[in-house]
A = this chain, B = another copy of it.
Amino acid sequence: MNNGTEELAARVAAGDRRALARAITLVESTRADHREAAETLLDRLADPSRSALRVGLSGTPGVGKSSFIEALGLRLVERGHRVAVLAVDPSSARSGGSILGDKTRMERLSRDPRAFIRPSPAADQLGGVARRTREAMALCEAAGFDVVIVETVGVGQSETLVSRMTDVFALLLAPAGGDELQGVKRGIMEIADLVLVNKADGELAAQARRTCADYAGALRLMRVRDTDPEGIPAARTVSALTGDGLDEAWATLERLAEWRRENGVLARMRAAQAGQWFEDELRAGLMALLTADPGLERRLADLRAEVEAGHAAPAAAARAALAPLARALRDA
């Protein structure tokens, strides 16, 4: 490890927020030398004893995620927590980084020295979304943040991705009536531990309660996981505006995490998540080996096109694609 990386690691470990921001920029980079430094940094900072409560949070645009996180985050730092907020936005490769892009949306929280907010990176910095986020989370933990909230927009595969790197998962919804309720992708219900209906204040309060009851009913129609305690998944109303329900929502998530810790579920989840991460890295690495050579890469693209058009059987095509690698290994 060179001196720069050494010093960066020490400053991150000391909880320096500017060093943390720089370290995350490093793991977001796809430049080969940055990549190597990032891996060294992560390996150096790996410390199982520094671990946060990892909270996944999803919600459709306009539901008030930022206000919710700000209100919740301010309560948590008041109670002595150090809170990091990361954004996962798979669409940012197109949009150039949308969520949390405007830090002023969490103005008070972002100014608080006990909090750290990291927007989704812009398009040109984007490496693998999962890798980047897992590594940013590891860095936040190494910097002593004991609550890490991973925010994502409810539009696709990102929730599954986030649920595979967090301890508990909450879904934030807006009050809605009848047909408007159709905004939730079915798969998201599968992974939500807690459904929160926001904006339960003023004239929307009654509607929020009805929406909450509807979702509670829908959740009851679906199987409770064996590894979950009584009452999970749950549905609750909250108001980021008045603060109503925030303490209860947090208590539910904390109790669930505690239950999972005491029953050995959390240790199993995290070991499985780490194993999954390792496997993702292995696959990415293997694929990188296969595409590192321009000739091999072209061949792979040709074979895939043949398969997609139905002109070649996938197994035979894969075998053909891997032949050079197999030969190299045999002759090594």
Contacts and interface: CB of A to CB of B under 8 A. Distances in A.
A280 B307 CA distance: 13
A332 B327 contact: yes
Number of copies: 2
Interface of A: 38-40, 42-43, 46, 48, 131, 134-135, 138, 179, 181-187, 189-191, 214-215, 217-224, 270-272, 274-275, 277-278, 280-287, 289-290, 292-293, 303-304, 307-319, 321-322, 324-329, 331-332
B319 A285 contact: yes
Contact of A271 (B40, B190, B308): B308
A174 to B, nearest CB: 14
Given A39-B315, A286-B322, A316-B42, A331 B332 contact: yes
Given A286-B290, A316-B39, A307 B277 contact: yes
A332 to B, nearest CB: 4
Contact of A292 (B181, B191, B282, B329): B329
A314 B278 contact: yes
Contact of A308 (B138, B274, B292): B274
Given A274-B307, A275-B308, A285-B319, A214 B221 contact: yes
A278 B271 CA distance: 29
A135 B307 contact: no
11 contacts: A179-B220, A184-B222, A185-B223, A187-B187, A274-B307, A278-B317, A280-B314, A281-B319, A282-B318, A282-B322, A289-B322
What secondary structure prevails in chain A residues at the interface with B?
Answer: helix
Nearest to A233: B186
A138 B131 CA distance: 35
Contacts of A185: 190, 222-223
B46 A313 contact: yes
A217 to B, nearest CB: 8
B271 A186 contact: no
